[in-house]
Amino acid sequence: MTRLSLPIIEERNLLWSGALILVGAFFSLAFACAAPLAGFAAIAALTSARRNALALTAAIWFSNQLVGFTMLHYPLDFETLAWGGALGLIALICCETARFAARMSIGAGAPFAALAASFLVYEGALFAITRAVGGDVSHYALASVARIFAINAGAFFGLWALALVCAAIGAGRRVASLRV
């Protein structure tokens, strides 16, 4: 890597992170409790270095909570705050799980493996916590989980396509900067 390409990479990473956080906030407005945190954790794991991916996942979770409490008027009670904290922790675990699954997969299967692993951990953890606290698990019926997966997959693959476009633009800009 040449010195000329470093500012472009830093600029692209900052723009990419900002875009993911803004899109995450939009999804939080659109889907409230069904915001695709597993999909965002997987895309962060695939497009950023480990530390940045975890920080990005935390920032997306924070934007989700900020939208929830300020715009969607989530109640400020212990249960809501505890679930919010649990979602953040689970999202970070999903990011690590997605990174591991992508490393263990072969070739073009990495994005699919990352999303599947992240989603399974996310929904599995939420189900386990709900069951442990004696909550109603009827909303984990196949139709509900399939809907949540569709939202996560749509977000993930839309962001994956955007990441490919950004990478192509960044590669083109690096080549152009080397010619100057």
Mean pLDDT on 93-110: 93
Q: Where residue 103 falls among pLDDT bands split at 50, 70, 90?
A: very high
The residues, any chain, with a CB within 8 Å of residue 102's CB and separated by 6 or more, are: 45, 46, 110, 111, 113, 114
**pLDDT higher at 112 or 106:** 112
Task: Say what the pLDDT of residue 13 is.
Answer: 76
Grouping H, G, I as helix, E, B as strand and the rest as coil, residue 50 is helix
Are 128 and 156 in contact by the 8 Å Cβ rule? The answer is no
Q: Which two tokens stand for residue 88?
A: 């953040």
Task: Say what the pLDDT of residue 157 is.
Answer: 95
Confirm whether pTM is higher than 0.75: yes
- Decide if pLDDT at 3 tops 50: no
Mean pLDDT on 63-77: 94
Among 155, 154, 87, smallest CA distance to 121 is for 87
Q: 101-115, 121-135, 146-160, 162-176: lowest mean pLDDT where?
A: 162-176
Burial class (CB within 10 angstroms; exposed 0-12, middle 13-18, buried 19+) of 7: exposed
Among 88, 151, 143, smallest CA distance to 119 is for 151
Task: Say what the pLDDT of residue 12 is.
Answer: 58
Task: Say what the pLDDT of residue 37 is.
Answer: 96
**pLDDT higher at 86 or 13:** 86
Distance CA 146, CA 34 (A): 12
What confidence tens digit (pLDDT) does each residue in 109-136 have?
999 999 999 999 999 999 999 999 999 9
What's the chain's average pLDDT? 86
